[in-house]
A and B are shown apart, each in its own frame.
Chain A
Amino acid sequence: MYVYDKHDQTFVEARSQEFRDQVKRRLAGELSEDEFKPMRLMNGLYLQLHAYMLRVAIPYGTLSSDQMRKLAYLAEKYDRGYGHFTTRQNIQYNWPKLVDVPDMLDELAKVQMHAIQTSGNCIRNVTSDPFAGVAGDEWIDPRPTAELLRQWSSLHPEFAYLPRKFKFAVTGAAEDRAALKFHDIGLKVKPGADSEPLFEIWVGGGQGRTPRIAVLFEDKVELVDLLPKLDSMLRVYNLHGRRDNKYKARIKILIAEYGLENYRSDVEEDLALQSLEPFAPAVAEYHRIAKDFERTDVPPRSVSSPKQEPQSPGLTAWIKQNVTSHKIAGYGVVSISLKPKGGIPGDATAEQMYALADLAERFSLSELRITHRQNIVLPYVPASDLAELYEELVVHGLAEDNVGLLSDIIACPGLDYCALATARSIPVAQTLSTRLRERESREDLSGLTLNISGCINACGHHHAASIGILGLNRAETENYQITLGGSSNDNASVGEILGPGFSQEEIPAAVDRILDFYQASKQPDENFNQVYQRLGKSAFKEAVYVAA
């Protein structure tokens, strides 16, 4: 894992101290809310529906045991005993008091964490593949690139007030596990000559009220050219991105309105004017960072254990569903579901977070990951320890064997917490997960996704799911719109609105009808989106509305 050098540590501690002073001045009345609000937002502190909310960055979703333990401690001491892992691989605390936030930030700084740039119109926490460094299909570890971007973008003076927020994702494997094409900029890292990284740059993706799939800006960008190019891309967006209408301010709208070719030629023009000197250390820095991510402490393990203990059906099912092959023989990548039957997607109690920290220490070289699907990953589990780990997970309520199944639902906080929400998402997810777990015991519901957002901002990625649910407010009553056919993988697609919305009570039956129709219509080896493409919206619409 990346370890802060003294510059990183000094910077984070100084920021925490600065915010302590700002809070003190706010509470003393020396700063008005108008003056204070941009400062708190730059430190991840929102005022939500019921209380303040602190969003803590988990850079590229990678955590150490000590960091997870600290997150548990913050939940226990300063919040109500739990936290919520988000689709941006961050964690949110829903009930901190303003007076306590400086202490929370000091605690985070002790373990090389912070909440900087988790809000505001700046470059946000860079997300990445949760299987980075361990995936069997990986070409190159994306995290050194993500860390380089973190260093380049942290408090970048020119990009602190962009037209809108700006999100990066980086992957380096055949399978897209980071929804790359739904980001403002997505970087796909591949090995070039001498195994040096080469970058594909995708631009203009996003969700929200105008969902867009990113388009290829350039392939085969060399490491030495990466930061100058991104700097120019951001500068042109900063100049031309719309500031008159926040709904049209993201780079996806600039690309759509101004055109990719015009944008590209402006970037080239800007690049020609740039001094490359400030970027000179980037290549050496990348290699310095990359060394931190190389794990040289992975003990060799035998591929098969000499004596095979009989497995319980629960363990067998959990291994089948939640354990993925590792690039090192004798190890597995373990995904821990935060989607228990009837539970709250992405929530973990302080007790569970402490347990996860301990389990990572015992079984996974003290390392954990957060996924954009709101689950946890232990990336280095010896195959011979899987049974013991499973038993521990059962004790802590973390052994649901549904990763990658339909009940592995993404849901944003919705109207239970969020000030911008138009309807609740969590109770819908809870009802559906209870029903879907029952269906999953009888039929194969793998290869489909179900995502729920509590408003058109789409933090719950509903556009990018096979079955998307969007909560709306219709005449002060919650109403839910269904979209079908979305996907966030390499063949990314935006779901289509099926028809008129449903009440919260009607949603489970509507989802059942979609699944019944899919199961009755699918041909061998066809997945949901293939069936949807083949039969079209009208066939599904008829099945859902006419049959109702």
Chain B
Amino acid sequence: MAKKVKTDQIFVLTANDLSSGDIVFWSGESRWAQEITSAHVIAANEQDTFTEIASASESANEVVGAYLTPVERKNSDLQPVELRERRRVAGPSIAYGSPVLPQKIAA
């Protein structure tokens, strides 16, 4: 059942691709896209419809762990409201796996 939310709250539907694990967003054209910029914006009163779409796509083994997450518009971009979701969209904030620079041996 959908949570009680402000009537003007907007959402996107997100999940992970079953095979690759990549983060994906429902783009509204029976497709999942990799960028939040392509995400279909869902109104508060449409949550049940998109929860059904999420279940159908999970049953069809396209994605895993689908859920709706609240977003807001920042300039013309969509940005998740929750800290966790903002990090999920932005990716790790660190330069992981970076090549190692040889240190100089102290003379």
Binding site for B on A (CB under 8 A): 26-29, 32-33, 47, 49-52, 80-82, 94-99, 312-315, 317, 344, 347, 349, 351-352, 391, 394-399, 415-417, 421-424, 426-427, 430, 473, 476-478
Out of A98, A423, A430, which one reaches B21, CB within 8 Å? Answer: A98
Q: Does B65 contact A (CB under 8 A)?
A: yes
Question: Do B102 and A97 have beta carbons less than 8 Å apart?
Answer: no
Question: Do A314 and B87 have beta carbons less than 8 Å apart?
Answer: no
Q: In the complex, what's the smallest C-beta–C-beta distance from B89 to chain A, in angstroms?
A: 10
Tally of A-B residue pairs with Cβ under 8 A? Answer: 110
Q: A51-B22, A52-B21 are in contact. Are A313 and B83 (CB under 8 A)?
A: no
Stretch in contact with the other chain, from B3-11, B35-43, B92-100: B92-100
Q: How far is the CA of A426 from the CA of B103 in the complex (A)?
A: 22
Residues of A within 8 Å of B91, CB to CB, are: 50
Q: How far is the CA of A326 from the CA of B15 in the complex (A)?
A: 52
Q: A82-B97, A476-B83, A478-B83 are in contact. Are A314 and B105 (CB under 8 A)?
A: yes
Question: Do B99 and A416 have beta carbons less than 8 Å apart?
Answer: no
Q: In the complex, what's the smallest C-beta–C-beta distance from B54 to chain A, in angstroms?
A: 12
Q: In the complex, what's the smallest C-beta–C-beta distance from B48 to chain A, in angstroms?
A: 21
Q: In the complex, what's the smallest C-beta–C-beta distance from A341 to chain B, in angstroms?
A: 9
Question: Do B16 and A47 have beta carbons less than 8 Å apart?
Answer: yes
Question: Do B94 and A82 have beta carbons less than 8 Å apart?
Answer: no
Out of B19, B58, B64, B99, which one reaches A97, CB within 8 Å? Answer: B19
Q: A351-B99, A397-B101, A427-B94 are in contact. Are A99 and B19 (CB under 8 A)?
A: yes
Q: How far is the CA of A344 from the CA of B96 in the complex (A)?
A: 8
Residues of B within 8 Å of A314, CB to CB, are: 105-106
Question: Do B94 and A344 have beta carbons less than 8 Å apart?
Answer: yes
Q: How far is the CA of A27 from the CA of B20 in the complex (A)?
A: 11
Question: Do A47 and B100 have beta carbons less than 8 Å apart?
Answer: no
Question: Do B65 and A33 have beta carbons less than 8 Å apart?
Answer: yes
Residues of B within 8 Å of A95, CB to CB, are: 21
Question: Do A51 and B21 have beta carbons less than 8 Å apart?
Answer: yes
Out of B16, B81, B98, B103, which one reaches A51, CB within 8 Å? Answer: B16
Question: Do A394 and B64 have beta carbons less than 8 Å apart?
Answer: no
Q: How far is the CA of A422 from the CA of B85 in the complex (A)?
A: 11
Residues of B within 8 Å of A315, CB to CB, are: 105
Complex interface residues of chain B between 41 and 91 (CB less than 8 A to chain A): 58-61, 64-65, 81-84, 87-88, 91
Question: Do B105 and A312 have beta carbons less than 8 Å apart?
Answer: yes
Residues of B within 8 Å of A399, CB to CB, are: 103
Residues of A within 8 Å of B105, CB to CB, are: 312, 314-315, 391, 394
Most buried by B among A27, A98, A395, A426: A98
Residues of A within 8 Å of B100, CB to CB, are: 349, 351-352, 396-398
Most buried by A among B60, B91, B96, B97: B97
Q: In the complex, what's the smallest C-beta–C-beta distance from A272 to chain B, in angstroms?
A: 47
| Residues of B in contact with A, size category | 35 or more
Q: Does B107 contact A (CB under 8 A)?
A: yes
Residues of B within 8 Å of A344, CB to CB, are: 94, 96
Residues of A within 8 Å of B23, CB to CB, are: 50-51
Q: How far is the CA of A417 from the CA of B21 in the complex (A)?
A: 13
Q: How far is the CA of A351 from the CA of B97 in the complex (A)?
A: 10
Q: How far is the CA of A289 from the CA of B19 in the complex (A)?
A: 40
Out of A26, A313, A394, which one reaches B102, CB within 8 Å? Answer: A394
Binding site for A on B (CB under 8 A): 16, 18-23, 58-61, 64-65, 81-84, 87-88, 91-94, 96-107
List the 10 closest A-B pairs by CB distance, nearest first.
Answer: A314-B106, A397-B100, A82-B97, A52-B21, A51-B21, A416-B92, A29-B61, A476-B83, A81-B97, A97-B20
Out of A52, A351, A477, which one reaches B83, CB within 8 Å? Answer: A477
Residues of B within 8 Å of A313, CB to CB, are: 106-107
Question: Do A394 and B96 have beta carbons less than 8 Å apart?
Answer: no
Additional A-B contacts beyond A97-B20, A98-B21, A312-B105 (13; CB < 8 A): A29-B61, A47-B65, A80-B96, A82-B97, A97-B19, A98-B19, A344-B94, A351-B100, A394-B104, A394-B105, A415-B87, A473-B84, A477-B83
Residues of B within 8 Å of A421, CB to CB, are: 84
Q: In the complex, what's the smallest C-beta–C-beta distance from B74 to chain A, in angstroms?
A: 14
Question: Do B87 and A430 have beta carbons less than 8 Å apart?
Answer: no
Q: In the complex, what's the smallest C-beta–C-beta distance from A412 to chain B, in angstroms?
A: 13
Q: How far is the CA of A28 from the CA of B99 in the complex (A)?
A: 38
Most buried by A among B18, B81, B99: B18
Q: A82-B97, A349-B97 are in contact. Are A27 and B82 (CB under 8 A)?
A: no
Q: A80-B96, A97-B19, A344-B96 are in contact. Are A473 and B101 (CB under 8 A)?
A: no
26 chain-A/chain-B pairs, Cβ below 8 angstroms: A26-B18, A27-B18, A27-B19, A27-B61, A33-B58, A51-B20, A82-B96, A94-B96, A97-B19, A97-B20, A97-B21, A98-B18, A98-B19, A314-B106, A317-B106, A349-B97, A351-B100, A352-B100, A391-B105, A394-B105, A415-B84, A422-B83, A422-B84, A426-B93, A473-B83, A476-B83
Q: How far is the CA of A424 from the CA of B92 in the complex (A)?
A: 9
Q: Name A37's closest neighbour in chain B (CB-CB).
A: B64
Q: A352-B100, A476-B82 are in contact. Are A312 and B21 (CB under 8 A)?
A: no
Question: Do B97 and A80 have beta carbons less than 8 Å apart?
Answer: yes
Q: In the complex, what's the smallest C-beta–C-beta distance from B41 to chain A, in angstroms?
A: 20
Q: In the complex, what's the smallest C-beta–C-beta distance from A83 to chain B, in angstroms?
A: 9
Q: How far is the CA of A315 from the CA of B103 in the complex (A)?
A: 13
Q: Name A101's closest neighbour in chain B (CB-CB).
A: B21
Q: How far is the CA of A66 from the CA of B83 in the complex (A)?
A: 41
